[in-house]
Structure 1
Amino acid sequence: MNTVPATASRSPRSRALTASAALAALLPLTLAGCGGGVSSDGAETSETTAADETVAVENCGRELSFDAAPTSVVGMMPSQTELLLRLGVTAESLVGQAQTETSPLPEDVADQASDIPVLSTDMPPAREDLLATSPDFVVSPTEYEFTAEQGFASLDQLADNGAQAYVATGGCADRRNTAEVTDVMTDITNLGEIMGVPQEAAALNDDAEARLAAVEDAIAEQDRLSVAQVYVEGNSLGAIGAGVEADIILQAGGENVFDPDAPEFEAFFATEVNPEEIIERDPEAIVFGTSGPENEEQTREYLTTTFPGTPAVENDRLIAVDQSDLYPGTLGNIDAVETIAVELYPEAF
């Protein structure tokens, strides 16, 4: 059974991540990940200088500067490739896509990516494979994809080869535990400016805002249900109390039984727990990430047999969401909000 803090289902975008490595793997992937758009002075969007039309973006403490829209772009995860395609970036400008087997692209954009070279399937591309594409811009969910010790091209190596890298806002090291669903809108705005498609970005953000507002309106009169958000690996159990994962629960109208300000979530958004800690909190719903149908079935069986007396199990409120929809910098965060809200309050929709 293999579920790491992640989320909802529009199409299976899930990533099969082993969760004994759950905390270990998530640490480099998310805690160490450095996201985009949040600057120390509070500037969260890109800006264009009228004089020379240079686009400057603050990205995880780094300033990125573009005199022209990139023409050789790599999406380091399907979620980033999807964003670029939805912004209208042409397949001709995308010289590579990576980690393609971690989650499939949504059907309505999958065909557009069919001719984009695949650089890697289940892990970030090796240094030489990425640099061989001669990219001028690389878009990633976290900074882990640039870990030189893992054999990946570092940010400095990319810069030496004429490429800049943008990391999702929600993946930034100093943002990870306080990330919000709306962080993806910062990414959309920034990428729209960088790629020279601000109008497309505005339209995509308008749609995202409308979807979140529709959920908020629908559940406005509902009595809030308590929710435990967990990940399961075999008989190992973890709880999620902070990060964009927790904000997804909040946006969906749930009250997380774990406090993001608790000491166990000070350094990381998830922690291992004993089943007794879930039982004691007696959640009315349990949300869990899934990497596919078989994983979902196994996790449901574990939760049902481990927590039979909780309202969540008694009322059949075990809510499965696609693992990849909890990754930083993905529109799947909004899919997750919608999925969980409908499961929590079906009478509101």
Structure 2
Amino acid sequence: MPVARPVAAVAAVIALSLGVAACGASADDGGSGSGAGAAAARSGYPVKIENCGTSQVFDKAPSRVVVMNGASVAEVSTLLALRLGDKVVANQQSYGMSEFPGRAEAIKKLPTGGVKQNAAFDIPRESMIGLRPDLVLSTTSYGFDAKNGFATRDELKNVGARTYISPQGCHDENSKLTIEDSYRLLRDMGRIFHVSDRAEKIIAASRKHIADIASKVKGKKKPKVMMLFTNMSMGSNDFSSVVAKGIYNDILGKAGAVNVFADASKTSFADLSKEKVAATDVDALVVIAYQDPNPAAYAEKLFKEFPQWPAAKNHTYVTVSDSIYLSPDNDLAVERIAKKLHPDAF
């Protein structure tokens, strides 16, 4: 979920992008129903996806999927939500926790391919080629950059693998992500694996859930929220993992809150000094845990450091993990935040 590269590498691969279009084949006009065109129509293939300047054509559903790290769980969570875990031969994504029951455990059970990550916290070129993938998923373009020690999209194409960069990840910056991009990722995977019906059911249920919550908090006073990743550094100042823009703000808005630091940066994260943070009224904290088993402790630490905040005086904070970023479970983040900030509405 972040963008910078933990602590400079792992925490930065959270961004994404793309443009998508799927097209099915038309049936053979021969009338027999047994031609190649008719067979293609029945199978739903070929499927064509326009992704970050490349055309990815799928003649059948991938069966050897590799999921790169990207400091995200968006891609692997989407596959699991669509019941496609059996297609994964190597997964490098893990948040260690999840708002979705059983998700963290399901991710942990997936094969890792025996990969040893490189200095950029992901699958090195040689290991990737050796996995013999037919589809490689990356959160951003970073995962296919040769200078980072990774196999390029062209190299993977030469060994028969299709590649996919998630929504808004073409330029390795996720400041324009919204909940709609989570739905786009679901739809793309639905098309690629010919399970669009499953994707649409998840999307419809999510839309309804979010709409129901938004209606309950409509008209309520919106708390000013500071959102940040726990114990993570992505810049030069004390608070470099404070969220400024991206899907986080879309989720906050649906939950009846506003990001107090939304204008502090043009990119996803604001690199703030301690003085700036101290001088800002914060009504509530949203603490995002990435590989942190105790995010609540981080919230308590901040309250002791900034006792003047309304959030500290009222002890108001929410902890979240994977549902706050690109995810099939954004509705859970909306619900969790809304219930904490507007308990009287539920």
In structure 2, the partner of 1:243 is 246
TM-aligned CA deviation for residue 185 of structure 1 = 0.5
Amino acid at match of 1:35: S
- The equivalent residue for 2:189 is 191
Tell me: higher relative CO, structure 1 or 2? Use CA pairs within 8 A at least 6 residues apart.
1
| Shift in alpha-carbon separation, 1:184–1:169, aligned structure 2, 3 A | same
CA distance in 2, matches of 1:347, 1:120: 49
Unaligned runs of 5+ residues in structure 2 are: 28-36, 38-44
Q: 2:275 aligned with 1:299, yes or no?
A: no
Aligned to 1:82: 77
- Taking the TM superposition and a 5 Å limit, the aligned residue runs for 1:47-62 are 47-50=23-26, 53-62=45-54
| Post-superposition offset of 1:152 | 2.1
| Alpha carbons of structure 1 residues 256 and 297: separation in structure 2 relative to 1, 3 Å | closer
Please give the secondary structure, in 2, of the residue aligned with 1:288: strand
- Say which SS state the counterpart of residue 179 (structure 2) adopts: coil
- C-alpha spacing 1:232/1:198, structure 2 compared with 1 (3 Å): closer
Asked if residue 171 in structure 1 is aligned to residue 174 in structure 2, the reply is no
Tell me whether 1:116 sits opposite 2:119 in the alignment. Answer: no
Match of 1:256 in 2: 259
Equivalent in 11, 14, 17 of residue 35 of structure 1: 17
Post-superposition Cα deviations, 1:293-340, rounded to whole Å, max 9, x if no partner, equal 655244223311222111111111122222x44443x22433322221
1:281 corresponding residue in structure 2: 280
Q: CA deviation at 1:241?
A: 1.3
- Corresponding residue for 2:158? 160
CA distance in 2, matches of 1:309, 1:291: 27
Is contact 2:81–2:328 with CA below 8 Å preserved after alignment? no
1:10 aligns with none
Q: Are the aligned partners of 1:289 and 1:320 in contact in 2 as well (CA < 8 Å)? A: yes
Aligned residues: 316
The amino acid that maps onto 1:86 is A
Deviates more, 1:239-248 or 1:292-301: 292-301
Write out per-residue CA displacement over residues 206-263 of structure 1, whole angstroms, 9 at most, x where no aligned residue. Answer: 122122222212212422111122345489213321111222222221111123xx4x
Q: 1:103 aligns with which of 96, 107, 111?
A: 96
CA contact (8 A) 1:46 1:189 kept: no
3-state SS of 1:96 partner: strand
Aligned match of 1:340: 337
| Counterpart code for 2:258 | E
Q: Which residue of 1 aligns with 2:312?
A: 313
Letter in 2 for 1:65: V
Three-state SS of the structure 1 residue aligned to 2:17 is coil
SS at match of 1:331: coil
User: Is residue 2:107 matched to residue 1:139?
Assistant: no
**SS of equivalent to 2:50:** strand
1:335–1:55 Cα change, 3 Å: same
Structure 1 segments unaligned to the other structure (5+ residues) = 7-16, 39-43
Say if 1:160 and 1:196 are closer, same or farther in 2 by CA, change over 3 A.
Answer: same
- CA distance, structure 2, for counterparts of residue 204 and residue 210 of structure 1: 10
Give the conservation status (yes or no) of the 8 Å contact 2:21–2:48. Answer: no
Contact kept, 8 Å, 2:179 with 2:251, in 1: the verdict is yes
TM-score by length of 2: 0.80
**1:48–1:154 Cα change, 3 Å:** same
Q: Given the superposition, is the C-alpha separation of residues 184 and 158 from structure 1 closer, same or farther in structure 2, using an over 3 Å criterion? A: same
Instruction: Please list the CA deviations of residues 99-120 of structure 1 after superposition, one character each: whole Å capped at 9, or x if unmatched.
Output: 44x4357654545873634444
1:69 is displaced (CA, Å) by: 1.8
Q: Which of 19, 22, 32 matches 1:46? A: 22
